Structure 1
Amino acid sequence: MRAHHPEVDITLIERAHGEAARWHAGQTRYSGDPYLTHCVAVAAIVADVGMPPTVVCAALLHDVEDTLCPPGRVAERVGPDVAQLVSDVRTANLGALRPGSPRLDAARPIARLTQEQAVLAIRLADRLHNMRTIEFVAPGKQHGKARETIDVLAPLARAAGLADVGQELHDLSAAVLRPVPTAFAVTTRVLALLTMLLPSTQRVRWRQEWQAELAVLPTRRTRTRFTFRVLLSAPRLSLTLRRPICQEPR
């Protein structure tokens, strides 16, 4: 957040994270990871593209309506603007938007973000993280999600000015629709095993990043080279992640 908004007060974001952690406690994803990891990943994607704090908070809470969270709780704890965004994300009809629509004006500055653009950013981030972890979804559902993503969501992302998000959505979907040879599955399993060298709290993040990068590499040779580089760097990365963070004196 501070990379795009240096003066941001993260109190509201911390409160939203606390609410997400509370109401998603005990829930898991198909991968077996805590459901909260998905909420944080979606919020991180939204933050990375420069969205303001209210949008990041709504990203953290975008699935809270699937929990026992009481009606009105989000508005009370995080504010009515966030609560409205969460509600709109649930009910948005992305089929009503088309690339080239004035409502997706990519030139509009973040400071004058429309509600529709904010909702779209969260929906795209949600799908992007789901596509990064689609290996854990039943094969039949994988194809349907990938087809919708490459036909509808990737073009919408590009139309909204989120070119990097759109490209990754396209590449991940193409990897599902046009699977590469068995060697891809082998390298994917190798990367998953390498994450066991990392601290447990970091494994999900690095597995997702490595597999997402692997999915967009075009040839068996480039995928093998990438896996070999990860293999060589994993021990040093593990030591770095386990090293205590030295805080500057106040």
Structure 2
Amino acid sequence: MNRDGASPPVDLQAMMDGLWTKVHQYNPLAEEDHLRRGYAFASSAHAGQKRRSGEPFFVHALTVADILADLRLDVDTIIAAMVHDVVEDTDYTLDDIRQRFGGDVALMVDGVTKISGIRTANPEARKAETYRKLVLAIAQDPRTVLIKLADRLHNMRTIEYLEPDRQRDIAQETMDVYSPLAHRFGIARIKWELEDLSFKVLKPERYFEIEAGIKQTRAEREHLIEKLATPLREALAEAGVRCRVSGRPKHFFSIYRKMQDQEIGMDRVFDLLALRVITETKADCYHALGVLHSHFPPLADRIKDYIATPKPNMYQSIHSTVRLPGSKYIEVQIRTESMHELAELGIAAHWRYKEGGGAGKADLAQMVTWLQQIMEWEEDVDDARAFMDSVRNDFFSDEVFVFSPGGDVFQLPRGATPLDFAFRIHSEVGFRCIGAKVNGRIVTLRSELHNGDTVEVLTGKKPSPSANWLGIVKTSRAKHHLRRWLKTTRYEESVRLGRNIIERELKRAKLRIRVDELVDVAQQMGYSDLDKMLAAVGGGEITQAKVVARVTPPPESAAEKVLSKGRDLYDSL
């Protein structure tokens, strides 16, 4: 920024040349003409538009494309990033995008436009609807979310140009919606930056306090890291473990959160000091761990094996905090090269250009196995906020690892109960649950599970769920199955009750009609089948009199009664 507060001139062509150089370095087969057509089209479409900073509006889209190029994404995603604001902010349509760049690019742009197009005065409602659309956009194309994350990252980098209130709203939405999504998709490098930028806006005093504290101890920390790194490199080399060892920066918001959660000062945040060991094979990871512990004593409760039990976002690594001479502590992370790539890039790693041709569209099934569950859960909730709470509780909260009596490991969100565990095993186990044992002791179904607990579910012969269980379970899986069971059970009970009521009413009216003969009546009353009409009667939505009236002959007039009686007398002669 210049002294007068204005932004320096921007050379868009130079930015595009730099983008092409970056893409060409990791993707020699990329079509330069195709990429530059995207640039020319978007640059022309946004001509004359300015950002709050005074820069050309197109700088934003070009920077978003550059962020995604840093992740080595495929050319279609880079082009979609360049044109992602065209439909929303110019007169061009989605068909124009499709005709020029193809269906994949158009699909991504459509997804980003729908997410950006949420307009509501209520910030919480907007946040919830954004959350819902972001998650469900995965069903169309996961790259849509990557573009939106990069879009939000650049907006956070330039947030100082907005009014303070607007800054806080956007930072809070970033912390509540975008950072958890980046975490769920395993994109560490975007998650950390989003959190730190939001933290700086929302709690500036604490941000600068931590920044100052880290600067004051930088020399000491670098000395301690080298104090461990040098002998560790030598020991690993002597043991024949091929690897590289490097320091790992600790991010400001994670330091703050740890201080808050554990009610400690910065001097007690052990992983301010951190090393990362990157090996060639999984076996080398465990070999390296043995070497580490033979030279530096570990803290027993600070060893976590995410290789054996990956996190929900597929993160794998071994974490161990060890003690150095002088009662100093340092965390060491051990992982393979492929685990490291996935930890840094998450879902983006599946769309990176791979040598040998094209974008590596690896099987995303493991990353988004929960998508089908989410689609089902959406049917169970009434509004976007309930949907957001449901998904966030299951997939973005801290987790606990518990064991079955057979030794199988199960991952549950923090706060989960034995009833959640029962439904995690199978819905039928959940329905028939009558009690539980944790670590061999009988506990209530409301008891909170903790890391390392061994949980045994006690079951009865028949399902016996209660509506009260909805207040006990924490996971959306359990709530989904319970709601479905209760809804089905109540429906079946309403059908049975409605059938009994109609049968009694038909007898009272002395009508020789069976209930099963009322199919036409159900359709006349607007029901697709007989059971739905009977359920409506049993549930009190309609009266039995209305149904029976449809098959009751109209009453005879006085004249008709006389004639009828005369016919009866004549017949008796």
TM-score between both structures, scaled by the size of structure 2: 0.29
Q: CA deviation at 1:115?
A: 4.2
74, 89, 96: which is aligned to 2:132?
A: 96
Q: Hey, what does 2:211 align to over in structure 1?
A: 218
The alignment of Structure 1 onto Structure 2 pairs a total of residues equal to 181
Q: Hey, what does 1:140 align to over in structure 2?
A: 165
Q: Hey, what does 2:30 align to over in structure 1?
A: 8
2-structure distance, mates of 1:15, 1:153: 30
Counterpart check, 1:175 vs 2:167? no
Q: Hey, what does 1:166 align to over in structure 2?
A: 191
Question: CA, structure 1 residues 32+220, in 2 after alignment: closer, same or farther (shift >3 Å)?
Answer: farther
Q: Hey, what does 1:120 align to over in structure 2?
A: 145
- Once the two structures are superposed, residues 7-28 of structure 1 have per-residue CA deviations (whole angstroms, 9 ceiling, x without a partner) of 2223221111111101100000
2-structure distance, mates of 1:103, 1:20: 23
Q: Hey, what does 1:79 align to over in structure 2?
A: 102
Q: CA deviation at 1:71?
A: 4.9
2-structure distance, mates of 1:135, 1:146: 11
SS at match of 1:27: coil
1-structure distance, mates of 2:137, 2:51: 33
Q: CA deviation at 1:2?
A: 2.8
Q: CA deviation at 1:180?
A: 3.7
Range 87-96 or range 14-23, more displaced: 87-96
Q: Hey, what does 1:156 align to over in structure 2?
A: 181
Q: CA deviation at 1:29?
A: 0.1
2-structure distance, mates of 1:128, 1:134: 10
2-structure distance, mates of 1:131, 1:3: 28
Q: CA deviation at 1:44?
A: 0.6
TM-score between both structures, scaled by the size of structure 1: 0.64
Unaligned regions of 5+ residues in structure 2, if any? Answer: 1-22, 116-128, 219-573
1-structure distance, mates of 2:42, 2:113: 16
SS at match of 1:218: helix
- Once the two structures are superposed, residues 129-148 of structure 1 have per-residue CA deviations (whole angstroms, 9 ceiling, x without a partner) of 00000000111110010001
Counterpart check, 1:46 vs 2:68? yes
Question: CA, structure 1 residues 220+64, in 2 after alignment: closer, same or farther (shift >3 Å)?
Answer: farther
Higher RCO structure, 1 or 2 (CA under 8 Å, sep 6+): 1
2-structure distance, mates of 1:161, 1:20: 30
- Retained in 1: the 8 A contact 2:172–2:198? yes
CA RMSD of superposed structures (Å): 2.9
- Once the two structures are superposed, residues 122-168 of structure 1 have per-residue CA deviations (whole angstroms, 9 ceiling, x without a partner) of 00000000000000011111001000101211111122121100100
- Percent same amino acid among aligned pairs? 37
Q: CA deviation at 1:70?
A: 4.5
Question: CA, structure 1 residues 97+87, in 2 after alignment: closer, same or farther (shift >3 Å)?
Answer: closer
- Retained in 2: the 8 A contact 1:117–1:160? no
2-structure distance, mates of 1:52, 1:136: 32
Question: CA, structure 1 residues 10+152, in 2 after alignment: closer, same or farther (shift >3 Å)?
Answer: same
SS at match of 2:196: helix
Q: CA deviation at 1:90?
A: 1.2
Q: CA deviation at 1:68?
A: 1.9
SS at match of 1:219: helix
Q: CA deviation at 1:34?
A: 0.3
- The code of the aligned residue for 2:141 comes to E
2-structure distance, mates of 1:19, 1:127: 22
2-structure distance, mates of 1:133, 1:103: 26
Q: Whose strand proportion is higher, 1 or 2?
A: 2
- The code of the aligned residue for 1:47 comes to A
SS at match of 1:130: helix
- Retained in 2: the 8 A contact 1:59–1:122? yes
SS at match of 2:92: coil
- Once the two structures are superposed, residues 52-95 of structure 1 have per-residue CA deviations (whole angstroms, 9 ceiling, x without a partner) of 11111110011001112245221222222211211111114652
Counterpart check, 1:61 vs 2:54? no
Question: CA, structure 1 residues 102+28, in 2 after alignment: closer, same or farther (shift >3 Å)?
Answer: closer
